[in-house]
Amino acid sequence: MSGAPVIAGTRVPIARIVYLLKDGFTMGQISKQFPWVDLKKLRGAMNELAQKVETIPYGAQISQTQAAA
């Protein structure tokens, strides 16, 4: 996937999941779009992403390019 972060063991980009969530999709609906990614793995990927975001120092500026990566 050209270096883009994906859900472990799949070719599903994390960014795709984030955009679907932003557009109002539920985790259940997303899981149905990617039936090979069960809800447990999907939630785990989002938890890992949240932990990584939490490590960004408060007050740090994030550009649109960095946020999409």
What total number of domains does the chain contain?
A: 1
Contact 9, 34 (CB under 8 A): no
Contacts for 43 with CB less than 8 Å, ≥ 6 apart: 27
In a domain, 14, yes or no: yes
Contact 9, 44 (CB under 8 A): no
For residue range 10-38, what is the model confidence (pLDDT) as tens digits? 999 999 999 999 999 999 999 999 999 99
Domain range enclosing 34: 1-48
Residue 5 pLDDT greater than 70, yes or no: yes
What is the pLDDT, as a whole number, of residue 1? Answer: 60
What is the pLDDT, as a whole number, of residue 56? Answer: 74
Contact 30, 42 (CB under 8 A): yes
In a domain, 68, yes or no: no
- How much is the mean pLDDT over the chain? 85
In a domain, 53, yes or no: no
Q: Distance between CA 23 and CA 13 in Å, rounded?
A: 16
